[in-house]
Chains A and B, each alone.
Chain A
Amino acid sequence: MSLELDDISIRLQDRELISLSASIGPGEVLTVMGPSGSGKSTLLAFVAGFLDPAFTASGTVRLDGLEITNMPANLRRTAMLFQDPMLFPHMSVGENLLFAIRAGRAIPGKVEAGFPSGITKQRAGASWADRRKIAEAALDEAGLHGFFDRDPATLSGGQKARAALMRVLLSQPGALLLDEPFSKLDTDRRARVRDFVFEEARQRKLPVLLVTHDAADAQAAGGAVVTLG
């Protein structure tokens, strides 16, 4: 699986914010660095399909060879993690994960990429009980055993970040888009969460587009680095 960005150009009125071409292979991380206001979050919005109409953009985005540039956001399979974990406050931790698990049949051939280890594709999305098992297995994997019924508000910052990552992975994405997802964690937690995210992405062979202004993030990611602005 790979994410390709061809001749991407994003402008705000007459000013070109971003001009970029890149290819991110399975399990690879491309880090985009730049000061605030340089447009790095705009790049993610463009790739994920949330670009504000105020911007104009050109270029093509391909995921696994399929062009997704003009697809609706929900069909692109480009999952996003934000600065904040964005766990839905009106759902329990478990419901947050269930929300991400597709109902009905799993998409053939994509199951291993999205699901935590130990869940086979035959069982994916079959029934509520199975879906709950999938969610609980994901929680176990993230070190959140028994957190299914918890109120997300009662989790620590690191726990929330891990739950958010598992939620995104359960949606069987084709790529991960990270918008400074570690910047709000304290220093000792940051490294652990970061390693956890990259490790899970590598295991699932997901291409990762990371936007950050922290050089340590870029270093930990280990992949190519593009600097904007």
Chain B
Amino acid sequence: MRRLARSVLAAFAVLAAGLASGQAADLSDWASVEKAARGQTVYFNAWGGARNINDYIDWAGDEVEKRYGVKLVHVKLDDTANAVAKVVAEKAAGHDGDGTIDLIWINGENFAAMKRQDLLLAPGWADKLPNWRYVDWKTKPTVLTDFTVPTDGQEAPWGMAKLVFFNDTARDAETGEMPDSFADLVDWTQAFPGRFTYPAPPDFMGSTFLKQALIESVEDPSVLQKAVVETEFDAVTAPLFAALDAMHPNLWRSGRTFPKNKEALRQLLADNEIDIAFAFSPAEASNAIASHELPDTVRSFIFSGGTLSNTHFVAIPYNAAAKEGSLVVANFLISPQAQLHKQDPKVWGDPTVLDTNALPDEYREPFDALDLGVATLKPSELGPALAEPHASWMERLEKEWTRRYGVAN
């Protein structure tokens, strides 16, 4: 009985401490934020499926510990939604000040859902970080609007993503000319049946492919920037699904099964089961070559009309226990040093969110000098960037796709 009483007391103590730290940090006084952060442990919930990214996070952890006395722990996720679920469960149980997640790698649907459910630290903080001044929000508008949802400073940009295709040039003789648009791709699958596929939505990469196809096939792209209007959905997507209907019989396994994610897709390319794979990172192919997952004859290509582009972010849950520590880490992640290290293809190869031209010379020069890797296209070769449709399109597309193709015969 006495032990029970003691644990109840302890629980209250934890709760009280949580409430105390629940007060928003004063971002105008950054020195005090850094002071409060010292000694805190930040649990960074981030997808853990890539060795190079895990290594980068380890490196960042060492740096923030050295510089700010903040301990960074990478909680490796296989799906970011697990972290969202965790915050939901904590809110349900009334853990409003002592959450187990401090920082979360996020974008798109997950961000929209958390923002809608008031699960993120408010008010916005990202544009008040000291290093915000280097962020390129002028030519990279996606750092401010995540899938058309305004970030309102509730997440800080971390890196840029762009849809890039790749193929093994050693097989050029068998694969013909690579397609240059979605329509081209549909024709290509007709000429080379069974040699292309895409991850099944709602996998992130599969949905990205659908959006690329939608943007290219829709008559008036501007409707995609607004939320789906249910009565117009069928008409808007009719060309897309007509193209998919035509393409599916010519897909790998005749479209009766689909790979789970982009890693499975890449493995299929490595196993010579398909000829074209794609990823949402320009450095993907070079990284896979470096880790022996793909042969060194693989090269990247894009659609000259443009491919989908977006930004990935870090966000702080409303109930994070180490809020100041998380702010310090988020600020460090957009520092020129951290961004430079990240863009190094030997490290990660993830494109920066900063405006490199506006950086002091000491940082601009190494950015310019980076060797991006054999299979990585230069920024100038990456082609136009297509903006993400409103997040509701993705959800609606996924639903429709599952309805049409989710049950194979």
Q: Please determine if A and B sit in direct contact within the complex, based on CB atoms under 8 angstroms apart.
A: no
